[in-house]
Amino acid sequence: MQDGRIEVVSIVDRVYDALRARILDGSVAPGARLRQEALADELGVSRTPLREALRRLASEGLVELEANRGARVPALTRADLMAAYDARLAIEPGAARLAAVVRDEAALRRMDGAIAAHRRASGSAALFEANRAFHLALVAAAANEHLSRLAEFLWAARIGALIYGRQDETAAEVAADADEHAAIAAAVAAADADEAERLVREHVARARGLFAVRG
């Protein structure tokens, strides 16, 4: 009995992880309807664990359950994207302060690699990936898995790629972004927590302001 229960839970977990990954990486587009019968067949599971996984996703706001109509991925509004910036302003400056205290060498190397990729990037998709890599490395440098999970959600493709797809940065703006990232990385490497926090707050606030005008 107990073994069977554990197996059922593990199936729900696997279905939940698979669907969550598809939603966050943009494979399932905002507004798309999730057809349970087709999904159950594709994943090789019964409808019961699928429904439980959908309920868990709904509790996170990644899925909307509609009476007699099944489930769908909610569409993202401009207000949702602005709210993502507000959440980043609440999370990333504090993470930068912690990162300057921890000074994780591997995370610093990932930040430097992301800056180099940013300077080479061309097109919104490459710019998004380079920016995502830098900011996630910055938060990871704080060595706090709760902060990292929040940052990964906010930098998921369904949010971040949509933001970058709506902007049309000039070459000068791309270079300025990379320079700001370099200054942040330098402050973290120098263990200057006040400077790291200030620079990140200004950096995210500037990006938010640009999106408010262009998004």
- pLDDT for 31: 82
Structural domains of the chain, count: 2
Examine the pLDDT at 215 and tell me if it is beyond 80. no
- Together in a domain, 53 and 127: no
d(CA 206, CA 208): 5
State pTM to two decimals: 0.74
Where a domain ends, among 42, 72, 102?
A: 72
- Together in a domain, 33 and 90: no
- Together in a domain, 61 and 92: no
pLDDT: is 167 or 107 the higher one?
A: 107
Let me know: does 62 contact 21? Beta carbons within 8 Å: no
Task: Give the CATH number for residue 66.
Answer: 1.10.10.10
d(CA 180, CA 39): 43
- Together in a domain, 99 and 197: yes
Residue found by looking up tokens 């507004």 in the block: 31
Containing structural domain, residue 134: 78-214
- Together in a domain, 174 and 112: yes
- Together in a domain, 146 and 62: no
Where a domain ends, among 72, 89, 120?
A: 72
What are the helix (H) ranges across the chain? Answer: 2-24, 36-43, 47-59, 78-102, 105-120, 124-140, 145-154, 157-165, 171-189, 193-214
Residues 54-66 have a mean pLDDT of: 84
Q: How confident is the model at residue 163 (pLDDT cuts 50, 70, 90)?
A: low
pLDDT 10s digits, 84-124? 899 999 999 999 999 999 999 999 999 999 999 999 988 77
Which region, left, alpha or beta, applies to residue 6 given φ > 0 means left and ψ of -120 to 50 means alpha? alpha
